[in-house]
A and B are shown apart, each in its own frame.
Chain A
Amino acid sequence: MIQLRGVAKSYAGRPVVGPLDLTIEAGEFVALLGGSGSGKTTTLKMINRLITPDAGEIVVEGGAAGESADHLRRRIGYVFQEIGLFPHMTVGENIACGPRLARWEKARIAARTADLLSLVDLPAESSSRMPGALSGGQRQRVGVARALAAGPAIMLMDEPFGALDPITRDALGRDYRALHERLGLTTVMVTHDVLEALLLADRVVVLGAGAILADGPPGDLIAGHPDPAVQALMETPRRQARRVEALRAGSAHG
């Protein structure tokens, strides 16, 4: 369970987030949805203390009292759009980073690396390749594998598939959702893509100007919401689908 209580952050006197309260239960897949400047990335990075809140309290269940930020981060997987694979290490060495920090034995690390490659659907021989030789989709698969390597219960993802082409993005999204189920993870994913949020998450939290505008299962939100901004946002995919459908119909009749 992750609990944010009265969490607030401002930059140079300009409030970016909150005060904000949010509780995420173990096993949930939560999407933080919003446009740029909505405070979604800041909120996510406060959970693993990459950003320190100005006020409020964040509790990530499972840690010892007085846990350091480094130790907190070692039990939370973190994936972001730029991926940040280490270019001087092979794919295998990249994946092994977390387990090495946790001082696993060599044999265990090797076995884990092989498992993870198959888990993210990469061939075993890619272990010895350099990140520069991979495609964007393959690189993000490695990014996910690296984040999962030390066996975290929680995954934080910041626009993880944002830089990928639509087909790769769809495939990777679905693959990750399956992993989430299989490994019993708690996932918090930041996205500005309504469709991605609706199709992947169990629960969508819509943020605007650092406050929660809506919070609920995708089905509920799409059925209608009193906030007109949320309503408009939820309408977008359907409106686009209708326009695509019209194109197809027009083409069929023409």
Chain B
Amino acid sequence: MDERFAAAARLLPGYLAQHVLLSLCALVLGFAISLPLAVAASRSAAVRWPSLFAASLIQTIPSLALLALFYPLLLALSSLSRAWFGIGFPALGFAPSLIALTLYSMLPMLRNGVAGILGVDAAAVEAARGMGMTGAQRLFRVELPLAAPVIMAGVRTAAVWTIGAATLATSVGQTSLGNYIFAGLQTENWALVLFGCAAAAILALAADQLLGLIESGLAARRAWRIWLGAAGLVAGAAIALAPLAVPAAAGAYVIGAKNFSEQYILAALVSRRLEAAGARVTLKEDLGSATAYRALAAGEIDAYIDYTGTLWTNTLGRKDNPGRAAVLATLTGALKRRDGVVVLGPLGFENAYALAMRADRARGLGIADLNDLAAHAPALAFGSDLEFLSRPEWAALEKAYGLKFRKQTSYQPTFMYRALVDGEADVISAFSSDGRIAAEHLTVLADPKGAIPPYDAVILVSPRRAHDRRLIAALRPLIGAIPVTAMRAANYSVDRDHDKLTPAQAAANLGARLPQ
């Protein structure tokens, strides 16, 4: 078997267990809320229209956004609760995913519940009333049994939606089958994307078929179908969840990573070192820039790699550029004071935001730096990654050089490089440690006005691990040990189209080149 598939398959038990746990909890919780609400809605139009409207409204929010919205909300709640009761709770990972998916699962269950109960033969309801059944007896003996097939059809739809949408939980730090898809998309590892999609689809299909068996059993009043479907669901869930029963070693380190190849590789490198030191490690990948830092400050992740320029502009909100050494020194002091976060030290390379062009095109237009670019910009198309245009670095560049492009388009980083090579974009927002810069013959445009601050990669450690000897001992040898050429080579080995390595393989290669 292809090594990439084998690597993906090894991750399956863990990803599947988390995915099933999350989907199952969301569905059970969603059902527990939807069913009573559907009963209330079937009794009263004053409940019916607002609740159906609210459920429909939630459905119109893209599921990715819905997931993302609960992180800041929970973070605020958590800090409130910490302030009032002295107890915080994790705002990242399971909790926001569960809430978002629960809300997301409710519409089909609520809608079918209401339709099912209202659709019960009026004569049967009148007979129940006429023989003196109380409201509850009527509900449980007549209405719910008769509405059950319609209600189950709603559960089925909700299950398929929820299992599909749960792949997006990866973006708020909850492990799921989406880890394959997000990681695969970032590293252009289509085998991984395909693997993730297929796994989620098979899971959704299996749940759908088993629930369908229960639904048809309810409709045709065939008890064996109901029991067979239920037994299949229980057995499937038990098998999928089994890996979770192995108790996670207490004190496992949580290493964070943002959503691009370099971050995956460095997180894998850190994990390898920790594991070599006998520690257990969990990865939380695909975090957004701001999310990663806040999660670290809150102690939800123990360490990750960030970049001085990002912290300087985003976390400290600074717009000036006092130079490499001053930025690092100021950051180290400010983050420690403000959040208790430890800046352990720089890795030795920079991954700066930079604007890049195809070398031939730049030469043809006579563009060497951003001053030259500004003169040609109105005739050029600019492609950026998804966050660059909303970052302060872009605002600083725009202001310093007066950049006005003919067209601006945002891409996933992978597709951004494609757009540049295909000529769809003339200039892109690149990263200076990106292996594709050398490989694709790109020219990085100089920044003579120093509008963009330095972006030295630094190791950050959470406040609660600030004095953790094992962690510090494993991380310290990385300081100053990774030159930009080594990082570019590692990044390229993951990003290139042929003979792709997994981030773990690239991390192993990179680790082998480190001084022991």
Contacts and interface: CB of A to CB of B under 8 A. Distances in A.
Interface stretch (B127-135, B181-189, B239-247, B415-423): B127-135
B146 interface: yes
Contact of B123 (A48, A84, A88, A147): A84
Given A84-B121, A86-B142, A88-B145, A74 B126 contact: no
A150 B130 CA distance: 13
A73 interface: yes
A70 B130 CA distance: 8
Nearest to A130: B221
Given A86-B142, A88-B221, A70 B123 contact: no
Shortest 5 CB-CB distances between A and B: which pairs? A84-B127, A73-B132, A78-B130, A84-B123, A74-B132
B132 A72 contact: yes
Interface in B49-92: none
A130 to B, nearest CB: 8
Interface in A194-221: none
Given A74-B132, A88-B146, A101-B133, A83 B121 contact: no
B124 A84 contact: yes
A78 B124 contact: no
B132 A71 contact: yes
A73 B129 contact: yes
Contact of A83 (B122, B127, B131, B137): B127
A150 B137 CA distance: 17
Nearest to A98: B131
B124 A147 contact: no
B142 A70 contact: no
A176 interface: no
A86 to B, nearest CB: 6
Contacts of A48: 130
A85 B124 contact: yes
A170 interface: no
A97 interface: yes
Contacts of A130: 221
Contacts of B129: 50, 73
Contacts of A71: 132
A143 B133 CA distance: 16
A73 B125 CA distance: 14
A101 B121 contact: no
A74 B124 contact: no
A70 B124 contact: no
Given A80-B126, A84-B124, A87-B124, A97 B146 contact: no
Given A50-B126, A83-B127, A70 B121 contact: no
A78 B130 CA distance: 6
Nearest to B131: A98
Nearest to B221: A88
Nearest to A81: B123
A21 interface: no
Contacts of B130: 48, 50, 73, 78, 80, 84
Interface in A92-118: 97-98, 101
A146 interface: yes
A178 B124 CA distance: 27
Contacts of B125: 84
A97 B123 contact: no
A82 interface: yes
B380 to A, nearest CB: 70
Contacts of A85: 124, 127
Given A71-B132, A87-B146, A88-B145, A101 B137 contact: yes
Contacts of A73: 129-132
A87 B121 contact: yes
Contacts of A150: 131
Contacts of A78: 127, 130-131
A97 B127 CA distance: 11
A143 B375 CA distance: 90
Contact of A97 (B121, B122, B131, B221): B131
Given A50-B126, A80-B126, A87-B124, A70 B221 contact: no
21 contacts: A70-B132, A73-B130, A73-B131, A74-B132, A78-B127, A78-B131, A80-B123, A82-B122, A82-B126, A84-B127, A84-B130, A86-B142, A86-B146, A87-B121, A87-B146, A88-B146, A88-B221, A98-B131, A101-B131, A101-B137, A150-B131
B219 to A, nearest CB: 10
A101 B142 CA distance: 13
B134 A86 contact: no
Interface in A120-163: 130, 143, 146-147, 150
Nearest to B142: A86
Contacts of B221: 88, 130
Contacts of B142: 86
Nearest to B133: A101
Contacts of A50: 126, 129-130
Interface centre among A70, A74, A150 (most CB of B within 10 A): A70
Contact of A70 (B127, B133, B141, B146): B133
Nearest to A82: B123
A181 B360 CA distance: 108
B99 to A, nearest CB: 36
A234 B199 CA distance: 77
A146 B124 CA distance: 13
Contacts of B146: 86-88
Nearest to A88: B145
Contacts of B124: 84-87
Contacts of B134: 70
